Amino acid sequence: MSDAIEAGINDLLSLGQDSECLRIGIAGGSGSGKSTVCNLIRQLLLPCVTEIISLDRFFKPVDQLPKYYSDYHQDWQPDFNTPDSLMVERMFAYCREIKHSGVVIFDGHFALYYPEMRELMDIKCYVHVDLEEMLDRRTARNLAAGYGGSRENILAYNRECVVPRHEQFIQPTSGFADILIRNNKSDIPERDALLNALCRKILIQLKRKNI
C-alpha cells in the first residue's frame, strides 16, 4: 500500500459529511464482485455496525422496464442495464432518509451514475474487473442460481445487452470514483491490502467521531 493511497484515504475521511454516518458507494459491472467487496468491508469494520443497501431493490417491475431488441430471441426483451431501469426518485428519497449510526454502503452497478447519489457519498468506489473475467463470473453465477435461462440465453443477453450497456453507462462512472478497487483473480492480494487500509482508517475516524 503506497503512502499516496494512504494519504488519499485520510483526505477522503476528513471530508465526511456528517458525524452520525459514513456513506460509501460501491459501483461496478454485473459480475465484478461488488457484493463480495461490500461484505469484506462489513467484516473488516466489525464491531462497527454496517448496513448494505442493495440498489437492485429499486429496479422497476419487469413490465415497466425499458426494452432492447434481441436478435437471439427475435423480439423485444426487458433491459436491466440502463439508468432508467431503476425507480430513481424513490431510490433518491429512500437513501436520503437513511438514519444510521455507523457505516452505510450503497451497492449497485449504477451507484455512481446519478449525481444525486454521488452527493450522498463520503467515499465513492468502483470495482474493476476485466470484461472477459466479469462475463465469465456473471454467467457462472446466473447458471448456479438458475437465473436467466440456459447458458446460451445468458451468453446472448451478455452479448446483446450487458456488454454494450456496460461500456456506455457503467464503465464510464469509474471516472467519478475516489478509489478504484481492482478485483481480477490476480488482484486479490492488492485488493485485500487496499480494503484493509481503508477499513483501518475508517475505524480510526469513527472512533474520533464517537460513532
Question: pLDDT band at residue 188, thresholds of 50, 70 and 90?
Answer: very high
Q: What pLDDT is recorded for position 148?
A: 83
The yes-or-no verdict on residue 137 having pLDDT over 80 is yes
- Return the CATH number of the domain spanning residue range 3-208: 3.40.50.300
Q: What pLDDT is recorded for position 117?
A: 97
Share of the chain above pLDDT 70, in %: 90
Q: Using alpha carbons, select from 121, 109, 127 the residue that is nearest to residue 59.
A: 109
Q: Using alpha carbons, select from 7, 23, 166, 14 the residue that is nearest to residue 101.
A: 23
Domain ranges of the chain: 3-208
Report the pLDDT averaged over residues 63-88. 96
Q: What pLDDT is recorded for position 74?
A: 95
Lowest mean pLDDT among 42-51, 88-97, 140-149: 140-149
Q: What pLDDT is recorded for position 101?
A: 76
Share of the chain above pLDDT 90, in %: 82
- Is there a contact between 39 and 195 (Cβ–Cβ < 8 Å)? no
pLDDT (tens digit, 9 = 90+) per residue, 15-70? 555 557 899 999 999 999 999 999 999 999 999 999 999 999 999 999 999 999 99
Report the pLDDT averaged over residues 88-106. 92
Q: What pLDDT is recorded for position 4?
A: 55
Radius of gyration for the alpha carbons in the chain, expressed in angstroms and rounded: 18
Q: Who contacts 158 (Cβ-Cβ below 8 Å, separation ≥6)?
A: 135, 138, 139
Rounded alpha-carbon distances, angstroms, from residue 41 to 47, 140, 143, 145, 205: 12, 24, 27, 24, 15
The yes-or-no verdict on residue 133 having pLDDT over 80 is yes
Q: How many CB atoms lie within 10 A of CB 61?
A: 8
Give, rounded to a whole angstrom, the gap between the first and last alpha carbons of the chain.
26
Q: What pLDDT is recorded for position 140?
A: 94
In the predicted model, what is the mean pLDDT of the chain? 91
Is-above-0.85 flag for pTM? yes
Number of helices and strands in the chain (H, E): 8, 7
